[in-house]
Chains A and B, each alone.
Chain A
Amino acid sequence: MAENVEKRKGGFEFKECAIIRKSTGKKAVTLRELRSLLVDISEKSIYYHIYQYFLKQELSEYTNEFARWAGEFLEERALAEQLSNVDPYSFKDLASLRNELLAVLDYYHEQFPESREVARGHEFYFEESVTFTFLVGVKVRNLAEFLFGIKYVDISSIYYHFYEARVRHGMDDFSRWIEDSLEEKALAEKVRAIDPFMNSLDRIRDHIVTAVEQTVRSNMEVL
């Protein structure tokens, strides 16, 4: 553990990621079909529809693709709210996340057993992805440089460090580096307090920039 922290001491290198989408050839027209396919669908597909949902820069009131489909196309609003409330970062693996999604669907089905069909063209298509990550070529060593870097990089870099990082090691890369390497604990906590489910990538960037600017300014005033 101490060694890992030691490794993070030093600069922060921005990375980005991009995905290409793959079709699984499976689609659901009703909630029952969605549930039935969800039992066996690949973990890669669950990963794409739940975690990589945040890479889409569409504004939506729902926090994953299943919730969005239930709310916008099936018009099962209560179910959409319940699915949106599933926190994907609170599960130890994809199998547990799958079980939770099934449990939410089952609970809803018990209360509302009628299964309606979506309009043609609005079926749920199960997809997977292939992910590419790469260094942006921006390495920063202090907060002032970090401020410049985070304003410069593409939005998919914010996704990679703020969302994808949570799957890799349980927290975002930014606050981790700010705390371990720069020892700015208060700032790290501010970044950690940004709600990942209620903000677009652009707004997350804005929140981080504001928090970092405040810290840089206050550090300068001290000087």
Chain B
Amino acid sequence: MIEQYSGIAPKGDLLLLKKLGEKLARKKFLHINSTRSGGGVAEILQRMIPILQGIGIEARWEVIEGDEKFFDTTKKMHNALQGQAEVITDEMWEHHYEVNRNNAEKLDLSADAVLIHDPQPAPLIDFKKDGKWFWRCHIDLSNPAQGVFESLRKYCEKYDAAIFSVARFARGIPISQFIITPSIDPLSDKNRDLSTEEVRQIMDKLKIPSDRPILLQVSRFDRFKDPTGVVKAYRLVKKYNECVLVLAGSPALDDPEGATVLAEVTSFASDDPDIHILLLPPFSDVEINALQRAATIIFQKSLKEGFGLTVSESLWKGKPVIGGAAGGIPLQITHGVSGFLVHSLEGAAFRARQLLNNPEMARSMGEQGKEYVRTNFLITRQTRDYLALWYSIENPGKDFHEL
């Protein structure tokens, strides 16, 4: 499995993965989250488990089950942790705990290391049998609504370590807190190489013209992704530069506002034939891949963002990205090197015009962005980091390890 990444991921990452694999060989590494499909966590686990198994670790992935009330509560929890006001009653917290207790009875929790993803299964720590337990939080915890993290804290503090995506998401808890950024899989349908012919066929299928530069934003139809702002920026660009705009997203079943925002954007775009708004079915990974490869410039003009891995996905296609300076986007775009960080729609338009008028700059930025993703945001690096963390917890008191 790991050999498939040879020639793609940095050699050192693969080497360290193998060395850590040797050190942790035949140990059991259990991952637990709350969904088998859909969302970034499941997407990465589907690929990471075989990588771990391939280097000799007995990796398993379990998924907790819950009823509607449980997932309604955890959705509210998720929103509140990201700063939205939500009411989560004591009874809801108790139900959250009870569902975890039921899962603990059904799941085999014995392992040398257990990685619990996100708040849904966090109370499982109370049913720990053995091994080291890590809590991996994928959510932006920089500004949680009052009270919600305090209720979760009692679980977090029992873990051996916590993992956050960005330093500012970390909280003041008295356990080791590691910063491990998320990653993309260069071999998945969303990121693997596509032939020119494959890209052309998909563009034809989606009815996207290829005779002019394409500006693209791939995102849910969500106000925080500012799709209307992107249309306004496109209009400023269009005054002097011929181009088409593609806004592509999938319906999010858990986001009732999505349809409203889509309607707003469609109405705002009015009847401009050069604006293509695509509501793609879920799992349109190859289509998104092709759109990113066909694009000239890619926007991720978010006003608020978690980590925003679509930026790394875009950079991986060798395209310059114009991103809003929100969430994890500034960690992925080096301003002026692999794209531009902007603070307004006018800024987005200005940078897009700069790039359209300087294809050499666009090409060079795309190249540098791809290399930056290769060294920082591939799944091999994230897997390596998880194992390095586990190894360092197994060998405490040392800041330098010679393998």
Contact = CB atoms under 8 A, between A and B. Distances in A.
Interface stretch (A20-28, A169-177, A203-211, A212-220): A20-28
Nearest to A16: B12
Contacts of B337: 58-59
Nearest to B169: A23
Contacts of A16: 12, 15-16
Contacts of A27: 168
Interface stretch (B147-155, B198-206, B395-403): B395-403
A163 to B, nearest CB: 15
Nearest to A123: B168
Interface in A150-189: 153-157
Given A20-B392, A127-B179, A134 B167 contact: no
B5 to A, nearest CB: 14
A62 to B, nearest CB: 14
Contact of B375 (A57, A127, A131): A57
Given A20-B385, A23-B167, A130-B388, A121 B142 contact: yes
A130 B399 contact: yes
A133 B402 contact: yes
25 contacts: A16-B15, A18-B13, A18-B16, A21-B167, A21-B178, A21-B180, A23-B167, A23-B170, A23-B177, A44-B399, A58-B337, A121-B326, A125-B167, A127-B167, A129-B399, A130-B398, A130-B399, A131-B401, A133-B400, A134-B402, A134-B403, A136-B11, A137-B15, A153-B11, A154-B12
Contact of A125 (B168, B178, B398): B168
A123 B169 CA distance: 12
B176 interface: yes
A20 B179 CA distance: 7
Contacts of B385: 20
A216 to B, nearest CB: 24
A20 B403 contact: no
Interface size range on A against B:
20 to 34
B81 to A, nearest CB: 17
Contacts of B375: 57, 155
B19 interface: yes
A106 B164 CA distance: 33
Nearest to A154: B12
Interface size range on B against A:
35 or more
Contact of B16 (A23, A130, A134, A153): A134
Nearest to B368: A59
Contacts of B13: 18
Contact of B178 (A22, A58, A134): A22
User: Which 5 pairs of residues, A with B, have the shortest CB-CB distance?
Assistant: A125-B167, A23-B170, A154-B12, A21-B179, A23-B177
A58 B326 CA distance: 18
B12 A156 contact: yes
B370 interface: no
A157 B16 CA distance: 13
A60 B177 CA distance: 27
Interface in B36-56: none
Interface in B356-395: 372, 375-376, 384-385, 388-389, 391-392
Nearest to B392: A130
A20 B12 contact: no
B321 to A, nearest CB: 15
A71 to B, nearest CB: 13
Given A18-B13, A125-B168, 18 more contacts: A16-B16, A20-B178, A20-B389, A21-B180, A22-B179, A23-B164, A23-B177, A23-B178, A27-B168, A59-B337, A121-B168, A131-B399, A131-B401, A132-B401, A132-B403, A133-B403, A153-B12, A155-B375
